[in-house]
Structure 1
Amino acid sequence: MAEGKRRWTLAYLDLVEVPFDLAEKYGGLIEELDLSYNRVTDLRFMSDFPKVSTLILDHNNISCQVKLPSLPELITLWVNHNKIRNLGVFVATISKTCPNLRFLSMMNNEAAPSYFNGGSYQQYVDFRYYVISKIPTLEALDDKQVTSDERREAERIYRKPIKRSKKNSSSNNAAKRRSSCWN
């Protein structure tokens, strides 16, 4: 660990998690943690790092089902070159556990289509809109800043449906029950 910087690099060590004794001793001090080029799949050990604001997990085995504790201090998350296949599940997890996330990089994951992994331009744009709509605190996604135009379009496309009044809702539910009896 570099004194004063509170930065810890454990890259290229074939780790599946941070060793408990190291996490226990230094975890509360670390602000930047680089675990690139390891075999990490489960991030529950991150609960030992409450001050981490930057987490780099490039080239690991992170999937959409990753277990991730609450990381309210996390601002930057890099998960490039992992095994994330289901965007909805992954984004739901990080939007819940990382409420202050501003910088996210997911390049070269199946869930993040681009020219580099066989995705079309439209798939890439849709990916950006979806992620931006679900993580409103984002300032940058992958290698591009989030623009105000993108944010407006993401909100327009993925905005939550307007709740109907109770009266309309009751009559709609009754109509649904009637139609389901006939199907």
Structure 2
Amino acid sequence: MLCIHLNTVHLSVVALQVSYIGHDCEDIPEYLGERYGLLTRRLDLSFNQLRSLAGLKAFTGLEELVVDNNLLGNDLQLPRLPTLHTLTLNKNQISFQELLEHLAKAAPSLQYLSLLGNEVCPNQLVSLDKDEDDYQRYRYFVLHKLPTLKFLDTRKVCKIEQQEAEARGAFMKVVKPKLSDTHFNILLLPLSGVFAKCHYVYYGKHSEGNRFIRNDQL
């Protein structure tokens, strides 16, 4: 292990892993990419104040990226990382599901994704009124957008989920009404079809905050 002390900054480099944790930085320091970008395979930037990941351009061979507990939002942009297979974005400020389309293009080899603690992931970590049905619909939609995933959040993707995501995942997007006095979400679902059963984790109380609409009512 190589440990480098730069003033009050402690940087830990282990083999091809770089950890830069808990420094309250809003951007990835340039020197990290300049010195270690080409060699790094795993990068941990947890517990900072990151609002941008533009500095990842230097990490061309990155395979694992951990950016938990930061301030990353819906404007998150990744450079193209063709070898990235693991991405954890837990406890950020992501609420926009269209970000998944960007991830599909930027990280075509992605197999593990975790979004726990973000508004986009409807479970008890972000809202007590979400239940297991809300979470399962979210999984179907994510897997539809990112069919290469083998793990989502803390659970392995099962074969039934893959089949349901392929067949109906596109209809699982949650659309939030713009009216300020509205407290429910509108969920797009197919007109017919029975969902296959698949074991999943229970995440909270039963939610009455969704109503179902048909395609001809849109």
- In structure 2, distance between residues paired with 1:105 and 1:158: 18
- 1:104 alignment counterpart: 113
- 1:28 alignment counterpart: 38
1:148 corresponds to 2:195: no
Higher helix share: 1
Partner secondary structure for residue 77 of structure 1 = strand
Report deviation, 1:20: 1.2
**Aligned structure 1 segments of 4 or more residues deviating by more than 4 angstroms:** none
Partner secondary structure for residue 116 of structure 1 = coil
Report deviation, 1:67: 1.8
- In structure 1, distance between residues paired with 2:170 and 2:132: 22
Whether the 8 Å contact between 1:17 and 1:40 is mirrored in structure 2 is yes
- In structure 1, distance between residues paired with 2:17 and 2:65: 10
- In structure 1, distance between residues paired with 2:59 and 2:168: 36
Using the size of structure 1 for normalisation, the TM-score is 0.82
Higher strand share: 2
- 2:88 alignment counterpart: 78
- 1:124 alignment counterpart: 135
Report deviation, 1:134: 0.7
- In structure 2, distance between residues paired with 1:134 and 1:84: 16
Whether the 8 Å contact between 2:66 and 2:88 is mirrored in structure 1 is yes
- In structure 2, distance between residues paired with 1:99 and 1:126: 23
Partner secondary structure for residue 92 of structure 1 = helix
Partner secondary structure for residue 94 of structure 2 = coil
- 1:56 alignment counterpart: 66
Greater gyration radius: 1
Moved more, 130-139 or 18-27: 18-27
Using the size of structure 2 for normalisation, the TM-score is 0.69
- In structure 1, distance between residues paired with 2:137 and 2:75: 22
Whether the 8 Å contact between 1:115 and 1:121 is mirrored in structure 2 is no
Query: Which sections of structure 2, spanning at least 5 residues, go unmatched?
Result: 1-11, 172-218
- 1:37 alignment counterpart: 47
Partner secondary structure for residue 46 of structure 1 = helix
Aligned residues: 158
Name the aligned partner's letter for residue 54 of structure 1: E
